[in-house]
């Protein structure tokens, strides 16, 4: 969403920023990209991420709190001139779209049309995206494949040719000059991101087996392990947290600011991840990427730098052994997706 906010500010288009509290957003990280910015309306930050039950309770609570709180904001407004813009597949985006529909506001969905065609992976994101695209009046899709996925959807479909992620990617990779975490690492390393709830919460035994396989396969250089909250919980539940912390071939690191993380994967030999956004980021970089999933909602990099493991140990081993063959050139980009989006909305008399 940040590139769209930046483009709106550049055009001096009035908007209000609403944050749900699903994740903690550190706006200071974006000061050089967005300038000074803070939410106009923000709801309570969800601190307890320990279980699906807690998450569901938070979502229900925030839905009703937001519905009542935004009644004055939306209920008496001129409906014609208001667009509620939501991005991607988060539960927050789904709640925003539902509330907008209740108040009769136009819904704009950015990064629309991505599909894994499996509601259990990624969960609940695949379900969220499916519902949002059916509620949306305008769907901004990153490619023709995504547009084709929305053939049965009534809303307008607009091709942005890339995801808005490319806008912030281009800015970050061109404007990171100071020393980063990656600059203090060994010359060669690989990055491991293992945090999807369908793995670390609902499929722990298989996840543990795959996790150990990944670490055992690579003896040439160390692993930089990104310690998301769910990753830490998974390691503790599996009884290997202390072993991981003592292993000299594993470098655990807390979740990094986006700029630092981009530099980390840029300097790595390859990336092993269960994250869809990471798939896209490695595609832009041409960085070898092993996707620890059975299904993915993205096509970026597949058959090129990205290998979908389908949780198959032979595929995992083959990739780690021969990762160099998946190196590609950086993606060359055309028009800014954020510019395409704001151009279109302005023409609709936003």
Cα 274 to Cα 227: distance, rounded to the nearest angstrom: 13
pLDDT at residue 48, rounded to an integer: 58
**Domains in the chain, CATH or no CATH each:** 2-162+335-347 (3.40.50.2000), 178-326 (3.40.50.2000)
The pLDDT tens digits of the residues spanning 322-331 come to: 999 999 999 9
pLDDT number for residue 142: 97
Q: What is the pLDDT of residues 43-74, one digit of tens each?
A: 887 665 557 788 889 899 999 999 999 988 88
- Walk across the sheet containing 270-273 and list its strands: 250-254, 223-227, 190-193, 270-273, 289-291, 306-308
| Low-confidence stretches of the chain (pLDDT beneath 70) | 46-50, 76-77, 176-177, 179, 350
pLDDT the model gives residue 199: 85
Which residue in the block uniquely carries the two structure tokens 């021969």? 322
At 32 the pLDDT is: 83
pTM of structure: 0.92
In this prediction, residue 92 carries a pLDDT of 96
């Amino acid at each position: 969403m940040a590139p769209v906010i930046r483009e709106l500010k550049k055009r001096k288009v009035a908007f209000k920023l609403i944050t749900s509290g699903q994740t903690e957003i550190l706006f200071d990280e974006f000061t050089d990209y967005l300038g000074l910015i803070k939410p106009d309306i923000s709801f309570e930050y969800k601190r307890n991420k320990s279980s699906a039950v807690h998450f569901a309770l938070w979502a229900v609570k925030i839905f009703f709190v937001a519905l009542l709180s935004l009644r004055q904001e939306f209920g008496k407004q001129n409906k014609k001139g208001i667009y509620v813009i939501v991005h991607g597949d988060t539960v927050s985006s789904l709640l925003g779209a539902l509330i907008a529909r209740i108040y009769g506001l136009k819904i704009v969905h950015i990064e629309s049309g991505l599909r894994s065609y499996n509601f259990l992976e990624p969960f609940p994101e695949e379900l969220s995206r499916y519902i949002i695209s059916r509620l949306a009046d305008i769907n901004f899709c990153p490619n023709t494949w995504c547009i084709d996925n929305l053939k049965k959807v009534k809303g307008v479909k607009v091709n942005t040719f890339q995801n808005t992620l490319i806008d912030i990617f281009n800015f970050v990779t061109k404007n990171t000059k100071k020393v980063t975490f990656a600059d203090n690492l060994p010359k060669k390393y690989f990055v491991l991101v293992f945090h999807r709830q369908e793995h670390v919460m609902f499929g722990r035994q298989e996840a543990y087996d795959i996790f150990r396989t990944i670490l055992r396969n690579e003896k040439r250089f160390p692993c930089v392990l990104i310690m998301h909250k769910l990753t830490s919980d998974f390691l503790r539940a599996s009884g290997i947290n202390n072993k991981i912390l003592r292993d000299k071939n594993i470098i655990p690191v807390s979740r990094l600011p986006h700029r630092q993380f981009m530099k980390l994967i840029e300097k790595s030999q390859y990336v092993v991840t269960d994250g869809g956004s990471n798939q896209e980021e490695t595609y832009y970089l041409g960085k070898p990427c092993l996707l620890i999933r059975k299904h993915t909602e993205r096509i970026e990099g597949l058959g090129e730098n990205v290998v979908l493991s389908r949780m198959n140990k032979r595929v995992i081993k083959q990739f780690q052994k021969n990762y160099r063959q998946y190196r590609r050139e950086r993606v060359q980009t055309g028009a800014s997706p954020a510019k395409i989006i704001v151009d279109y909305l302005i023409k609709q008399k936003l």
